[in-house]
Chains A and B, each alone.
Chain A
Amino acid sequence: MKISGGITVKVSELADKLGLTIFGGASGLQNEIKGGYTSDLLSDVMGHACSNQVWITVQTHKNVIAVASLKELASIILIKGLEPAQEVIEQSDIEKIPLLGTKEEAFEITGKIYNILKG
């Protein structure tokens, strides 16, 4: 969702604040985050996410990078301590989409990011 009156945070700042693991796509860490979308359905993200949002998901396969790149999302955060395969990390590097991770569940990490972005 877009947060009205919210602030913009760089991916690197969000990763620092929340202690997120950086798996790949480090060259995009200066991307600006202006909102977020939490979903595990790719067509839901294609249809409803907006550019410069951070995407929170359990999906770890390569198509996630394609969706994020096509939608010009700021970053992807994998939840529950899930780790991407090497080919997915390489794709995130190619597409310059920061691929991050947290041990937390979607609910917790989404809430924390919402609080940061609402300023």
Chain B
Amino acid sequence: MHFEYFIEGGNFAEAGSTSSQVKKTLKQLNVDGTVIKRTVVALYEAEVNIVAHAYSGKITVELDEEKIDIKIVDEGPGIPDIKRAMEIGYSTASPEVREMGFGAGMGLSNMKNNSDKLNITSTVGKGTEVEIINYFHL
């Protein structure tokens, strides 16, 4: 199965709506509750990152018998130093975004802790690609 969602940069009012739709779909498909919980946390953080940092993004969800594979591709400024961005507490979010309780530098570590495989590639000035894979049975 294959689902696609489009995310608008800067639209905080809608942040989380794709994660919510994916969660509903996974529940309808009777996916294991722990897998749903982990996937939703990782996906929500990726979704918020598009809203907070990028201009626009596309989320593709692929489901097969053994795994859920999510690709998050954005058009945005890119990440110059991914290793540094992975550090807890490091953030480049604006003061406005931080006041809302986002941008605490915990998003990428949440994504790492809640995915079986996490791949991040980025080109400065172009955008970032994130892949989250969670297996139904490890």
Q: Tell me if A59 and B20 are in contact (CB < 8 A).
A: no
Contact present for A59 and B113 (CB under 8 Å): no
The verdict on A43 contacting B15 (CB below 8 Å), with A63-B100, A70-B23 known, is no
Docked CA distance A61–B107 (Å)? 19
- Interface size (B, Cβ < 8 Å)? 24
Chain A residues with Cβ under 8 A from B106's Cβ?
41, 43-44, 47
**A70 and B104: CB pair below 8 A?**
no
Total number of residue pairs linking A and B with CB closer than 8 Å: 62
A46-B45 contact in complex given A63-B12, A69-B20, A70-B23, C-beta closer than 8 Å: yes
Is the contact region of chain A dominated by helix, strand, or loop, or is it mixed?
helix
**Candidates B17, B37, B107; contact of A43 at CB < 8 Å:** B107
**B19 interface residue per 8 A CB criterion:** yes
Closest to A43 in B: B106
Contacts of A2-45 to chain B: CB distance below 8 A:
40-44
Contact with A along B30-55 (1 / 0, CB 8 A): 00000001001100110010000000
**B-side interface residues toward A, CB under 8 Å?**
12-13, 15-17, 19-20, 23, 37, 40-41, 44-45, 48, 100-102, 104, 106-107, 109-110, 113-114
